[in-house]
Structure 1
């Protein structure tokens, strides 16, 4: 009902001079539609609603980023980046269309024509880019678990149900179990590792594991896993027998799937890039 309010308003303002008049008056109204106040108000209502949806999309993406960081440690982060890029592209497309509509009410026909051409070319570019991404990165379009929640929401739910009990001994045992698993099984070498995979392997509920890492350790799952990957990469870089191994080979070996994410994580963990770190050894 909330979403239909602009539509109802848009039609209500058309009642006096369009809906309840005769056919000749309707034709006359439409023939001068660009100068009619009702039509201009309709455009304002429509575009205000679209802008509100665009802002809501970016707010959802910001929340999604936190959910991803708390639950994933690999390719899923690339999916989030792709969603952000695509939303930005569509937003750009919309604002060009908005500018075109504004110039419909202004006496600058040559600018309007250029905007129409620009809109068509931008539309073609977006479609081509979307198809290119879909063909070369099909994993970007796989389903996302919509049931995932932020840790702060899980904590809030547990507090409300009076299930959140701080037990240092229990947390300590779970932490030892988790760290032993990370060292012995090296799950971080899997570039598509998720918190669900780890929870299954160590036989711990996902919610409890998420609280342990994100709340007790005060780390995102993404950073927690990457810290092990970076430590393994540092071991390889320090190994004289592997001095010929390239940075690209190392990043794939330790569980990363892109050079940019590897460099970012390595610099965050050590304060320098992998190449610079190797040179200091």
Structure 2
């Protein structure tokens, strides 16, 4: 009984925090309202799911509500998937086609309809007592697991493309959107694996272990919820999205052109463009702008952004992100070697050369020099 009381206490706290975070996301002022609202609805569904630890105590005679509550978990991952799209792409909008994500939820409830929702009270009670052995529940669990894998893979694919597009088109070193979403998705995956292991205990003789596994899952859910709150409070703007209409260089290259071809057939025009670009980067120092994008650079040197993307990402064989940061690092190296600027701190230097994060500056600097900025200065 003490274990159940402890578990219920954790569940109550987790539900309260989830609803509190949903309220915060609904009311916080931000440009990306759609992403906030999708995430808020996700947390409301999480609260409904977590309420399962104590919800049944209040609706013992309303089994329909309890079974319907079970099926709402099928809306969680679609909402998270749409939330990731809304965060990654600033021009993302909900469309009628996105209602198709609710099909598994509708399908499962239709399957429960004949032998549960439309059944008499006695049949419902009998169904509920042995629900884990019923074909409808086995199908429901199979759909949940299949859907989870489908959306987790889908989210990781979105993040991979987002990262590639970001590296090819942006030079802002604050990469928080990708890092945060990747961490969050990874945490979801780990938590779900724990839930699967916990569920397997239900079909064994380790009933006592199953109860403690519930306590563990409840504690993990509470910790994850608290972690999300801290992230949301520290980053209320939910980071910077990119344009979904951007294309990867490999997708806009002519089909007959391969990397080896471009290396072997470097015409005078390409070489001239590369030299002109490098001269402009050295003389005008556009990389000092922390938020420089490939579109802005293309406007400055009067070249179509499509051509500039191919020139940098394909012919120079560097991501735009790395191409720009190389100039920033070279500028930082020059300042660090300058004896007249010894009074400048590393933090002042990184801001001066276009970085906006100490961690990203140290990582990039070590990548190019195999030394930390401080070690380079001392050497």
TM-score category, normalised to shorter length: 0.7 to 0.9
Aligned to 1:58: 156
Is the partner of 1:141 in helix, strand or coil?
Answer: coil
The answer as to whether partners of 2:173 and 2:360 remain within 8 angstroms in 1 is no
Q: Distance in 2 between matches of 1:197 and 1:130?
A: 34
User: How far is the alpha carbon of 1:113 from its aligned partner?
Assistant: 2.9
1:220-256 Cα deviation digits (max 9, x unpaired)? 0011001000000110111111223222222222111
Question: Among 334, 346, 352, which residue is 1:253 paired with?
Answer: 352
Q: Residue in 2 aligned with 1:217?
A: 316
Q: Does 1:239 align with 2:338?
A: yes
Contact 2:176–2:239 (8 Å) recurs in 1: no
Structure 1 residues 246-275: Cα deviation after superposition (integer angstroms, max 9, x where no partner): 222222221112222112211221222222
1:115-154 to structure 2, matched below 5 A, reads: 115-138=213-236, 140-154=238-252
Matched with 2:55 is none
Q: Residue 166 of structure 2 contacts residue 242 of structure 2 at CA under 8 Å; is this kept in 1?
A: no
Superposition deviation, residue 22 in structure 1? 6.7
- Kindly provide the CA deviation profile for residues 36-84 of structure 1, in whole angstroms up to 9, marking residues without a partner as x: 3542343123112212221222122222222111111114522211221
Q: CA deviation at 1:13?
A: 7.4
Counterpart CA distance in 1 for 2:218 and 2:309 is 46
Q: State the secondary structure of the residue aligned to 2:253.
A: helix
Deviation at 1:12, TM superposition (A): 8.7
Alignment TM-score, normalising by the size of structure 1: 0.83
Residue 277 to residue 208, structure 1, CA distance change in 2 (3 Å): same
The separation in 2 between residues aligned to 1:193 and 1:220, in whole angstroms, is: 14
Q: How far apart are the structure 1 equivalents of 2:321 and 2:331? A: 16
Structure 1 residues 205 and 140 mapped into 2: Cα distance closer, same or farther (>3 Å)?
A: farther
- Secondary structure of the 1:193 match is coil
Further displaced range: 213-222 or 125-134: 125-134
Give 1:190 shift. Answer: 1.8
Deviates more, 1:1-10 or 1:87-96: 1-10
**Partner of residue 187, structure 1:** 286
Give structure 1 stretches of 5+ with no counterpart.
none
8 Å CA contact retained: 1:34, 1:104: no
Q: Does 1:99 align with 2:197?
A: yes
Q: Aligned-residue CA RMSD in angstroms? A: 3.2
Q: Pick the aligned partner of 1:35 from 108, 129, 133.
A: 133
Instruction: Provide the rounded CA distance (Å) in 2 between the counterparts of 1:107 and 1:80.
Output: 43
For structure 1, which segment, 20-29 or 48-57, has the greater mean C-alpha deviation from structure 2 after superposition? 20-29
- Pick aligned residue for 1:226 from 325, 330, 333: 325
In structure 2, runs of 5+ residues without a counterpart are 1-96
